[in-house]
């Protein structure tokens, strides 16, 4: 009789275990399209056998099986593959951020273009060349002033937009730091919950999935390492310093430096910095989107700003040097006296403009444009010399012309942007391969889950049928024993 009840308990356990296994399959199917989900598997094991007590008739027959149970819900997770994905995230985040900044820098210059600074420079030198052939012509002088004003406006637009870009990157960096702080707080809170769930013997699989998603997002922003402790909490470090440990996170803070082209005041710092909030020490940033934006803010934008400023100040100096030595129409000054500048570049405000003394819109006099090397009205030698500055090697220590310097600057930006775009493609391919490797291990296959569902369903039905058979056996024992003639 006891063996019959043991059989019933075995069947009950079989029903319970396979029902639980089907629930796990259902959970997998429900989350098949969830990108952060890691497949689960019900681990079935035979329950401890019944062993007859010593001295009984069953002692020699050994163990009697007592059924099956789900000992745990296994999370099909490969830490090595997850680490590869995080490393790929750090690199891809850096190149994506760098490409975005270089694209924005390239858009500031709008080159190559018919309306870019290069074309304006060509038209300015052409206007000087035209003036050299008819230096007494007022329309040609007016056309020259308009071309110069167009060039000045273009230069001012570029320098202004580069400073604005730096300011925009400041805003983005501050937002990224806030996002990092929010993610680390989320991970620390999940650590706390996961440790509690593990401590009472339950499975925190879904919490771990959410934590892994947060860590993956974090790795796209900044270089980091993560490892799980014995209790289930994840420790995250930047360099050798903790960003998250147990249920506590350490905040970062962003300090903006001075913008390119602006004069420094004593309390300013020249570069933007990301610091540990707890002790104001610099964060060892070597990768991720944050590293790219810091590089753009502290290196790339100031570098290209310096290039354009070198370009325009040299152009101004060379044009002004020749212009001061020349004479306008009916110029009353004595030979040997300095004339006036053609361009004025305000070093404090970083603004280029035509000399107001030559601009008729503000009461200037076009006749004061110095096209001649003497007082002869038909002499256009100074205008001719200025027009040929386009061929003079006055940049980079006498190795490049003014147009050549600008063309090389534009080419440098274009090449840098194309290289960054190529690197994004390379590392996207690597990242995709890492994701595919993870999905092959941890991803949900609907076909596989349906096969498992059918398998567990059949086992459940068999266990249910076993219950029916045992019930019939009991009915025979209870209601049929001792009845004769039936």
For the chain, the structural domain boundaries read: 2-76+446-480, 84-430
Question: Going residue by residue through the chain (486 aa), what tens digit of pLDDT does each one get?
Answer: 556 667 778 888 889 999 999 999 999 999 999 888 999 999 999 888 776 555 554 444 456 778 899 998 989 998 899 999 999 999 999 999 999 999 999 999 988 888 889 999 999 999 999 999 988 888 999 999 999 999 999 999 999 999 999 999 999 999 999 999 999 999 999 999 999 999 888 889 899 999 999 999 999 999 999 999 888 999 999 988 999 999 999 999 999 888 887 766 555 557 889 999 999 899 999 999 999 999 999 999 999 999 999 999 999 999 999 999 888 887 777 666 778 999 998 877 678 999 999 988 888 889 889 998 876 656 889 999 999 999 999 988 889 999 999 999 999 999 999 999 999 999 999 999 999 999 989 999 999 999 999 999 999 998 888 878 877 777 777 776 666 554
CB 30 within 8 A of CB 23: no
Distances (CA, A) of 186 to 120, 176, 207, 220, 327: 53, 15, 11, 16, 73
- List of E strands, 120-279: 225-228, 234-238, 241-245, 248-249, 252-255, 273-276
Does 112 sit behind a cis peptide bond, omega within 30 degrees of 0 on the bond before it?
Answer: yes
Note the pLDDT of residue 293: 95
Which pLDDT value is given to residue 469?
80
Residue 58 is predicted with a pLDDT of: 47
Give the global pTM. 0.87
> What phi, psi does 113 have (nearest 5°)?
-160, 155
Distance from C-alpha of 361 to C-alpha of 367, rounded to nearest angstrom? 14
Sign of torsion over alpha carbons 204, 210, 213, 218: negative
What is the spatial distance between Cα 153 and Cα 84, in angstroms, rounded to a whole number?
50
Position of tokens 């296959």? 445
């Amino acid at each position: 009789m006891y063996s019959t009840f043991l059989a019933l308990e075995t069947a009950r356990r079989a029903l319970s275990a396979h029902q639980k296994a089907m629930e796990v399959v259902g959970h997998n199917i429900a989350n098949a399209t969830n990108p952060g989900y890691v497949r689960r598997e019900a681990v079935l094991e035979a329950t401890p056998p019944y062993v007859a007590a010593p001295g009984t008739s069953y002692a020699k027959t050994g163990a009697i099986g007592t059924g099956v149970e789900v000992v745990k819900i296994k999370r099909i997770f490969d830490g090595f593959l997850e680490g590869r994905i995080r490393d790929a995230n750090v690199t891809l985040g850096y190149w994506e951020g760098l490409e975005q900044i270089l694209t924005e820098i390239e858009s500031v210059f709008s080159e190559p273009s018919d309306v870019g600074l290069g074309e304006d420079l060509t038209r300015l030198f052409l206007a000087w060349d035209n003036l050299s052939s008819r230096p007494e012509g007022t329309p040609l002088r007016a056309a020259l002033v308009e071309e110069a004003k167009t060039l000045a406006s273009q230069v001012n637009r570029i320098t202004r937009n580069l400073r604005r870009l730096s300011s925009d990157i400041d805003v983005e960096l501050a937002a990224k730091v806030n996002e990092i702080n929010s993610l680390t707080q989320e991970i620390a809170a999940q650590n706390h919950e996961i440790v509690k769930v593990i401590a009472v013997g339950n499975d925190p699989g879904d919490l771990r999935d959410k934590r892994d998603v947060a860590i993956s997002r974090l790795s796209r922003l900044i270089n980091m390492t993560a490892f799980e402790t014995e209790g289930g909490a994840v420790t995250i470090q930047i360099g050798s310093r903790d960003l998250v440990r147990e249920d506590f996170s350490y905040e970062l803070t962003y300090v903006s430096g001075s913008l390119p082209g602006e004069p420094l005041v004593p309390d300013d710092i020249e570069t933007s910095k990301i610091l540990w909030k707890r002790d104001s020490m610099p964060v060892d940033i070597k990768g991720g989107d944050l590293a790219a934006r810091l590089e753009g803010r502290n290196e790339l934008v100031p570098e290209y700003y310096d290039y354009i400023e070198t370009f325009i100040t040299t152009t101004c100096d060379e044009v002004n040097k020749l212009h001061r030595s020349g004479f306008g129409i009916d110029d009353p000054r004595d030979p040997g006296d300095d004339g006036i500048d053609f361009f004025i570049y305000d070093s404090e405000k970083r603004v280029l403009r035509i000399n107001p003394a030559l601009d008729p819109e503000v009461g200037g006099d076009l006749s004061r444009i110095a096209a001649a090397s003497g007082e002869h009205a038909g002499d256009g030698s100074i205008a001719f010399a200025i027009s040929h500055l386009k061929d003079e090697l006055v940049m980079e220590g006498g190795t490049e012309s003014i147009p050549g310097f600008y063309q090389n600057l534009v080419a440098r930006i274009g090449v840098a942007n194309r290289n960054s775009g190529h690197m994004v493609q390379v590392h996207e391919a690597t990242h995709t391969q890492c994701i595919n490797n993870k999905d092959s291990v941890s991803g949900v296959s609907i076909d596989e889950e349906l096969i498992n569902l059918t398998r567990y369903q059949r086992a459940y039905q068999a266990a249910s049928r076993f219950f029916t058979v045992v019930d019939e056996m009991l009915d025979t024992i209870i209601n049929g024993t001792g009845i004769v003639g039936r």
